[in-house]
Structure 1
Amino acid sequence: MIETERLILRRWRAEDRVPFAALNASAEVCEFLPKRLTREESDGLADRIDDHFEGRGFGLFAVERQDTGAFIGFTGLAVPRFEAPFMPAVEIGWRLDHAHWGKGFATEAARAALAHGFGPLGLTEIVSFTVPDNVRSRGVMEKIGMHHDPADDFDHPMLELGNPLRRHVLYRISRKETA
């Protein structure tokens, strides 16, 4: 568990699945994702997140507001499930409920996840990626000190040719940049 000023990053609980499914069914939240998820697909993603923690000792934390105890999404670290020129790598990612956007929660949680990655986990570099038009996520990447080199941009191999979300921008940050 990691605590920040306003948030708790923790392992997942069974009761997180209902609000997680609602988040994954949201048109706003899934605007730059391949599709909105059904409840079964959302539960499957939660299972994969739990399996990642069990198999690797780290993963995507459930994010809870300290003031209300509400589950608001996830933030954390994961190993991408595809091959790309920048692999092997550990990715930082986040997905928060739309009602909690614009309050700095994603940045706050991502900073804590980076500190965990470069501290206890001993990682030397962390990446993040999204579609070029996802300015909100790109803004978080820049606020936490990540940098973008257009030469690193790539076509996501899990998306079909012609899919408008296939092209991705890659951001990086190294441990020495955070020291």
Structure 2
Amino acid sequence: MTTTDLPADARTVVAVSERLVLSRPQEGDAEAMFAIHGDPETNRYNPHGPQRDLAAAREQLAGFVADWPRDGVGYCMVATRAEPEVVIGVAGLFLHSLDGEPVFNLYYRFRPSAWGKGYAAEACRAAMAEALPRFPGVPVTALIRADNLPSRRLAERLGLMPDPDGRVDQEDRLIHRMA
């Protein structure tokens, strides 16, 4: 699939994998964001809990939208190639600073209906394949709570290992780094 396979009013496609389409977030994604980030099940390991309302989703989405023109990279809305208009998750890389070092934060959160299908790993690989060649030398990290074993396993499958010294960030999340 290429962008020419999509309708003219479609999203800005960032990456396409075997089964998925990753696109830049846009203002109209607030309801999809809230469906994912407001679900208590997708926030089981989030110390802040699920989003409270659509306004919180809009605020988070505004940040995701702003990242792209500023940094040229950011989190993506994820859909299947079979249903590119239905957002099933959010995944990608966010450029930020960790202990004064510029790094990417790898992020993935999907609707429970998308769990167990390998979509998160596929989306993260596609996002990394698109971004990393454009930002050589910027390491990939993931900040994950120690009790979030599913997320830790996925990070490790993607090549991110926990800090050997057990370092954590200011929110007590384990720092995983691309090996």
TM-score category (smaller protein) = 0.7 to 0.9
2:88 maps to 1:42? no
**Contact persistence 1:92–1:113 (CA under 8 A):** no
**Contact persistence 1:76–1:110 (CA under 8 A):** yes
**Contact persistence 1:76–1:92 (CA under 8 A):** yes
The answer for the alignment partner of 1:12 in structure 2 is 25
Offset at residue 119 of structure 1 (A) = 1.5
Offset at residue 132 of structure 1 (A) = 0.5
**Contact persistence 2:168–2:175 (CA under 8 A):** yes
Q: Secondary structure at the match of 1:5?
A: coil
* Counterpart mapping for 1:14-93 below 5 A: 14-33=27-46, 34-37=48-51, 38-69=53-84, 70-80=86-96, 84-85=98-99, 87-93=101-107
Q: Secondary structure at the match of 1:42?
A: helix
Q: Secondary structure at the match of 2:44?
A: coil
What amino acid is aligned across from residue 61 of structure 1 in structure 2? C
The answer for the alignment partner of 1:159 in structure 2 is none
The answer for the alignment partner of 1:177 in structure 2 is none
Q: Secondary structure at the match of 1:52?
A: helix
| Residues in 2 aligned to 1:66 and 1:15: alpha-carbon distance in whole angstroms | 19
| Residues in 2 aligned to 1:114 and 1:22: alpha-carbon distance in whole angstroms | 25
Q: 1:106 to 1:67 in 2, by over 3 A?
A: same
2:177 maps to 1:172? yes
Structure 1 length as normaliser, TM-score?
Answer: 0.83
**Contact persistence 2:43–2:50 (CA under 8 A):** yes
**Contact persistence 2:73–2:95 (CA under 8 A):** no
**Contact persistence 2:27–2:65 (CA under 8 A):** no
**Contact persistence 2:33–2:57 (CA under 8 A):** yes
Offset at residue 144 of structure 1 (A) = 0.8
What amino acid is aligned across from residue 73 of structure 2 in structure 1? F
| Residues in 2 aligned to 1:13 and 1:64: alpha-carbon distance in whole angstroms | 14
Offset at residue 21 of structure 1 (A) = 0.8
Structure 2, unaligned runs of 5 or more: 1-13
| Residues in 2 aligned to 1:152 and 1:79: alpha-carbon distance in whole angstroms | 22
Offset at residue 120 of structure 1 (A) = 2.7
Structure 2 length as normaliser, TM-score?
Answer: 0.83
| Residues in 2 aligned to 1:123 and 1:91: alpha-carbon distance in whole angstroms | 14
Q: How many residues align?
A: 163
Q: Secondary structure at the match of 1:151?
A: coil
Q: Please, what is the CA RMSD of the aligned residues? A: 1.8
What amino acid is aligned across from residue 16 of structure 1 in structure 2? D
Structure 1, unaligned runs of 5 or more: 157-165, 175-179
Offset at residue 44 of structure 1 (A) = 0.5
